[in-house]
Amino acid sequence: MGPNTVDRPLFVEDVITAITGGMGGVPLRSLRSNMERAAVEFDERTAEAFARALFTELSQNPHDVRGLESLIVLGLAHPRILARHGISLETEGRRLAVVLDRSGQSARAQQLLEMLATNMPVPGKEPEAQEQIDESTAARVAAIDTLLRQADHCIARGRKAEGIKHLQEILRLDHDRFDVARMIRDLRRSQEGRRANYATFAKVVLSMLVVGALGYGLVTREQRVRARWDALPQAGPNDTAAMQVRLSAIKGMLAEEHVWGGMFQAWRERDELDSKIQRHQEEVARAARAAALEKQGRLQEAEDLRERAMRSVKVSRFDEALVDLRQALELGGEHWEKRARVQADISAIEGWKAEKP
């Protein structure tokens, strides 16, 4: 396989090998020997079938040099085959000569040009073997030329879709115009590329709009949540009730809003308020326990003084008894359960002393 080998259907590869050789290590024959052999070995029907296979292949792989060379050799051997399909043997032959010359095959390119000059029909002196194009073929060629001009006019003015319609009409008239099929494919690729660019641009614009809308929504929401935060009830450092109210409000806001810019500040203050309220409650509880213990101690001391006063009364030490009972009243307080009894004892002792000074 040479450098110009491409993936082809097996039948097309067989056609090219049959015309030009060079398959499986067999060297390429000269163009003249290929043409002479094709003129002798391939009848009109075989040449037509080979040409159609090459048209199809070249419409898909227009840069297949071996395929184009095979078509030119076949056209030189059977000129009316290409003429029936509106293909210019001279134009395509010279294009192949340029390709061969650029690829370093100058001798083969020169041979091709000489063969074209020798075998191309002279105006007014066409070979007898060449059939005249009938009227219907001439009309078709004229229609194809008109459609080509219209397609070029549309494409030049950017109306590619309209140009493709004209080119498709040409293919309807001549299915083997691989050059036209190539033009349609290139135009469609160009349209697809433009549509892809438009789609990309539309996606970018849509993305920007979505991002802008999301950003506006986030800013608006942040402002609303910040205003709600600022409106929460305030609390002094020693006002436990106010701190409890603010803590409840913060917890409710966190549960409803979930995420916003001041969320971390809200978490921090919530934890601080929890700690302060807990410490204050512990201090209150400690003070209550201390007060209860102190009260219990006073009541016990008052009870002890009353009992000592009663013992003093038994031994007639009334003055000492009165002192202990009055002190017991003071320690027991207003709500002491034995206050009334102690007061009665004091009154009795004082009355007894008044009767017996």
Measuring CA to CA, which residue among 236, 232, 287 is closest to residue 256? 232
Q: Are 19 and 50 in contact (CB under 8 A)?
A: yes
CA–CA separation, 115 vs 110, rounded Å?
9
Neighbours of 62 (CB within 10 A): 16
Length of the chain: 357
Return per-residue pLDDT of the chain as tens, 357 residues.
444 555 566 677 878 888 876 544 344 567 888 888 888 888 888 888 888 888 878 878 877 888 888 888 888 888 888 777 777 788 888 878 878 878 888 888 888 888 887 766 544 444 443 444 445 666 777 788 788 888 888 888 888 888 888 888 888 877 767 777 888 888 888 878 777 777 788 888 888 888 888 888 888 888 999 998 999 999 888 888 898 999 999 999 999 888 888 889 999 999 999 998 998 889 889 999 998 898 889 889 989 999 998 998 888 888 898 999 999 999 888 888 988 999 998 998 888 888 876
Amino acid found at 320 = E
- Tell me if the pTM is above 0.75: no
